[in-house]
Amino acid sequence: MSWVTKTLSSTIGRKLIMALTGLFLILFLIGHVSGNMLLFKDDGGEAFNIYAHFMTTNPAVKLLSYLTYISIIGHVIFSIWLSKRNRAARPIGYGVSTPPSTSFSSRNMGILGTIIFIFLVVHLQGFWAQMHWGELPYVTYAGEEYKDLYSIVVFAFQNELMVIGYVIAMAFLAFHLSHGFSSAFQTLGLNHRKYSPAIHTVGILFSILVPILFASMPVYIYFTQS
Ligand code: HEM
């Protein structure tokens, strides 16, 4: 068995992949939330459309996008494998005697992840697939034509059900990140008496701030563009 096969079939190897893909997705979220902040700019979507054009055409960014897709798929597949193995190793289940020291998030990472995955499918179909293959209107800035992705985002967030769905999904994302962040560092063996509390605090702040920023986008568009 090669070391790759060995790593991929061992529990610790699978946990390692979960941690590495999770940390990469955390970096993706930082980039994604920062770029999307352009939605708050009061310029009719010009800066956002130019940014979206850059993000879908620049070769280096494209490479990062492929890594993002691979990380999402890897994170999902390995989480399913891990939870299957855990269940097989513990067929009776904890019942009511779940250790009280575990948090709500750590006990429900699977269900939280599943909800985020469903959100992602709806999200990618609504925006990403439209940007790549949809028939978007075009706008011209400084003599150059751009796809008007901003109009699609504004249209989607005129719908209160969509806005409510996004806000709820971001609450689930917050819980998922609140455990995932420090858990990834722990899996990588980066738990140190001195640094672990700081990693935990940064993780909690991150898992509150990023989902709030994401959630404020549909809410802002709903109240300012209707
Ligand atoms: C409400 C906040 C959000 C808005 C307004 C938003 C907007 C967008 C838009 C317009 C795109 C298409 C642009 C493109 O293809 O480059 C996109 C792509 C994407 N979004 Fe979001 N997004 C939000 C939240 C999220 C969240 C919370 C996640 C993850 C949990 C996420 C994951 C993705 C992914 C994976 C892509 C594809 C990126 C790529 O192709 O590199 N988005 N988003």
pLDDT given for residue 96 in this prediction: 52
Is the model's pLDDT at 211 over the cut of 60?
Answer: yes
The model's pLDDT over 108-126, given as tens digits with 9 standing for 90+, comes to: 999 999 999 999 999 999 9
pLDDT at 113: 96
Place of tokens 């209160």: 160
| Amino acid 93: pLDDT | 55
Predicted local distance difference test score (pLDDT) of residue 92: 59
Mean pLDDT of 186-190: 89
For ligand 1, which residues put their CB under 6 angstroms from it? 32, 36, 52, 55-56, 65, 68, 116, 120, 123-124, 127-128, 131, 149, 153, 166, 173, 214, 217-218
CA of 146 to the centre of ligand 1 (A): 18
Buried b (16+ CB within 10 A) or exposed e, 168-200: ebbebbbbbbbbbbbbbbebeeeeeeeeeeebb
Band (pLDDT 50/70/90 cuts) for residue 10 is: confident
Ligand 1 atom with the shortest distance to the CA of 61: 41
Query: Does residue 136 carry a pLDDT above 90?
Result: yes
Which residue of 121, 123, 130, 175 sits with most ligand 1 atoms within 8 Å of its CB, as the best mutation to test the pocket?
A: 123
Predicted pLDDT of residue 222: 98
Terminal CA-CA length for the chain: 60
Protein residue closest via CA to atom 13 of ligand 1:
128
The predicted model scores a pTM of 0.92
Tell me, what's the pLDDT at 100? 58
Average pLDDT in the 135-145 region? Answer: 97
| Domains along the chain with CATH numbers | 3-88+106-225 (1.20.1300.10)
For 5, 23, 85, the CA distances from 104, given in Å and listed in that order, are: 33, 21, 21
Q: Which of 11-20, 60-69, 95-104, 180-189 has the lowest mean pLDDT?
A: 95-104
- pLDDT at position 112 is 97
Ligand 1: residue whose CA is nearest its atom 8: 127
- In the prediction, which pLDDT does 114 show? 96
pLDDT at 181: 95
> What pLDDT score does 83 carry?
86
Q: Which stretch of 6-10, 20-24, 64-68, 156-160 has the lowest confidence by average pLDDT?
A: 6-10
Q: Is the pLDDT of residue 11 over 70?
A: yes
Q: Whose CA is nearest to atom 2 of ligand 1?
A: 214
When the pLDDT of each residue in the chain is averaged and rounded to a whole number, the result is 92
